[in-house]
Amino acid sequence: MKNQLITLNINGEDMDLVVAPTDLLVEVLRKKAHLTGTKKGCGQGDCGACTVIIDGKAVLSCLTLAIACQGKKITTIEGIADRKTGEMNPIQKAFLNHGAVQCGYCTPGMILSSYALLCENPHPTRQEIRRALSGNLCRCTGYILILDAVEACAAEGGVL
Amino acid sequence: MNILTPFEYYRPETLDEALELLATKEDYKILAGGTDLMIQLKEKMIHPANIIDVTQIPELNEFAIKDGEGAVIGGCTTDAFCEFSKELRDKYPAFSIAAGEIGGPQVREMGTIAGNLANSGPSAETPSSLICYDAKMTLAKKGGERVVDVKDFITGNRRNILEEGELIKNIILPEPAATTHVKYGYVAMRRMMEIDIVNMSIRVDLDGDTIKDAKCVMGSVAIRPLISEKVPEVLKGTKIGDEAVIAKAAEAAQSEVHPISDIRATAEYRVDVVGALVRKLLREIAAEAK
C-alpha cells in the first residue's frame, strides 16, 4: 500500500494531497487540508458530526475514503460563507440568531445537513426538517431552536 | 491517523473493468456505499487486501421505470434515491418506504440497494418488500450473468449466494397489478437511526374483496428473511379485512418465527411484535383496498 498524490476539490478549490488508500475523508480534511470545522464524533455513522456535502448530498466523512472522493465536489462548513466577503451564509446567521448553538460540536454537521436540505427543498415542512436532521445528534439544545432556525432561514429566503 | 488495516483501492470506471478486477484480485471486498463495509473495516471484522469501489460504474447506476414494464434499478442506486423517487414511491410504495427507513439521511445518501442486499444482515430493511414484489436481481461476473430471485439470494446471517468474482448488477421489479397491495412495517426503539426489532412486508392479491394470493416476509426474526408458509394458507380465499382471519394470520406468523433475544429486544417481545405487525399491515391493506 503506497501513499498516493490525489486532487480533491474542496470548497471550490483543487487541493493536491498525499493520502494512503485507508485515509478517511474526515481525517484528511482535518489533518491534511487543515479544515478543522468538520468534527469527528462517533466514527460509526450514527452522530452526524462529520457531515460534509459531496456533489450536493449530505454524507458522512467518517465513513468515506478520501481516495474515493477524486473528481467530486466536497463542501465543508468552511465553504458555505460568501467566498469574497466572508459574510456568513443565511443558515449560519439563522443558527446564531435563534441561539441554535450551545457547545457547538454538532453545529457544522447540523448546518450542512440543513444547507443540503434547503438547496433541494427550499420550503420544507417542520416534519421534513426534522427528518432531514434525524441523522445529526445534539446533546445540548433539545433541537427546538435548531428546527426554528432552519424554518426561519427557509422563510427568509433560503441559503442560496 | 490510520485505524484501518492497509488495503489497495481500485475504482473501475466500467463494468468489464470491475469484473476483470474481481476475477483476478484475491481477498477483496466490494465498496458500494460503505455504510456497513467501513464499519466492518473499522471494527476489524474483515481485513481485505483489496477494496474495489464499484460506485462509478454506469450500468450499476442505471434506473429505468415505465408504465406496464416494471422497473430496473442499478445496484449502486442509493437508498435516498429510492426513498425520494416519486415513480418508485407510486409504483412500489412498500419498497420506497423501506429504503427510507435505513439508517439516517446521510447513510441513505451513501448506502445502496445492492449494498443492503449483499450485506445480508438479518434486520435489513429492503429484502422483505423486494421479495413481496417478486423482485429478481442480475448477478454479473466475468464471462456471464445470471438472474436470480431476491428470495433465494440471502442464505444466512451475512451470507448470500454471491460467488467469488460476482457482483450485483441490478434489481428487476416486475409490474404490479392494480389489485396487488404491498405494505411494509417495522417496530424499533426510535423513529429514526434505529435497527429494527422486527420488520415485515405483506402482499395481498385481490379478486374483488377476496384474497387470491398472499405473501408475508419477516426480517429480524431469523438468520435470513423468513417467508411465511402459513400466512398465505390462512388468507387465501378469505375476505380482506375479516378480523377473525386477521387474528388467525397473526397467530400463524407467530408460530413460524424463532427470534433471538439481543440488545434490542427479547425473543418473547419479538414474537408479540410479529403478531402486531401482521394485524397492522392487513388492516392497512383492507383500508387501502376499499
**Cβ contact, residue pair A43, B42, below 8 Å:** yes
| CB contacts < 8 A (A, B) | 89
Strands (E), chain B: 8-10, 28-31, 50-53, 63-65, 71-74, 136-141, 144-149, 154-156, 159-160, 167-173, 180-187, 198-207, 210-219, 226-227
Q: Which residue of A has its CA nearest to B54?
A: A68
Question: Measuring CA to CA, which residue among B158, B131, B136, B122 is closest to residue B70?
Answer: B136
User: Does the A4-79 domain belong in CATH 3.10.20.30?
Assistant: yes
**Cβ contact, residue pair B38, A68, below 8 Å:** no
ipTM, two decimals, is: 0.96
Nearest to B105 among A67, A70, A113 (CB): A113
Q: What is the pLDDT of residue B189?
A: 87
pLDDT in tens, chain A (160 residues): 689 999 999 999 999 999 999 999 999 999 999 999 999 999 999 999 999 999 999 999 999 999 999 999 999 999 999 989 999 999 999 999 999 999 999 999 999 999 999 999 999 999 999 999 999 999 999 999 999 999 999 999 999 8
Chain segment B123-161, per-residue pLDDT in tens:
999 999 999 999 999 999 999 999 999 999 999 999 999
In this structure, the number of other CB atoms found within 10 A of the CB of residue B153 comes to 23
- Residue B137 phi/psi, 5-degree rounding, is -140, 145
Q: Is B31 on the interface with A (CB under 8 A)?
A: yes
Terminal-to-terminal C-alpha distance of chain A: 42
Largest interatomic CA distance in chain B: 64
Most A CBs within 10 Å: which of B42, B106, B107, B116, as the mutation test of the A interface? B106
3-state secondary structure B115-157: HHHHHCCCCCCHHHHHHHCCCEEEEEECCEEEEEEHHHCEEEC
Strands (E), A27-124: 51-54, 57-60, 73-75
Q: Which CATH number describes the domain made up of A90-155? A: 1.10.150.120
In sequence order, what are the beta bridge partners of B199? B186, B219
Q: What is the pLDDT of residue A1?
A: 67
Check if the beta carbon of residue B27 is closer than 8 Å to that of residue A41: no
Nearest to A45 among B35, B53, B191 (CB): B35
Angstroms from B53 CA to nearest CA on chain A: 8
**Cβ contact, residue pair B105, A132, below 8 Å:** yes
What are the C-alpha distances in Å from A47 to residues B11, B104, B165? 28, 9, 35
Angstroms from A133 CA to nearest CA on chain B: 8
- In Å, how far from its chain's centre is CA A159? 14
Which chain B residues contact residue A133 at CB under 8 A? 105
- The SS3 of residue B50 is strand
Can you tell me the distance from the alpha carbon of B244 to that of B249, in angstroms, rounded to the nearest whole number?
9
Which chain B residues contact residue A59 at CB under 8 A? 106, 109-110
Q: Which three cell numbers stand for residue A136?
A: 445529526
Which chain A residues contact residue B40 at CB under 8 A? none
Chain segment B28-43, per-residue pLDDT in tens:
999 999 999 999 999 9
pLDDT tier for residue B2 given thresholds of 50, 70 and 90: low
Angstroms from A85 CA to nearest CA on chain B: 30
pLDDT tier for residue B1 given thresholds of 50, 70 and 90: very low
- In Å, how far from its chain's centre is CA B118? 9
Chain segment A62-79, per-residue pLDDT in tens:
999 999 999 999 999 999
Q: What is the pLDDT of residue B3?
A: 79
Ordered by where they begin, the domains of chain B are 6-176 (3.30.465.10), 180-289 (3.30.390.50)
Order of strands across the sheet that contains B226-227: B180-187, B198-207, B210-219, B226-227
On the 0-12 / 13-18 / 19+ scale of CB atoms within 10 A, B65 is middle
The residue ranges of every structural domain in chain A are 4-79, 90-155
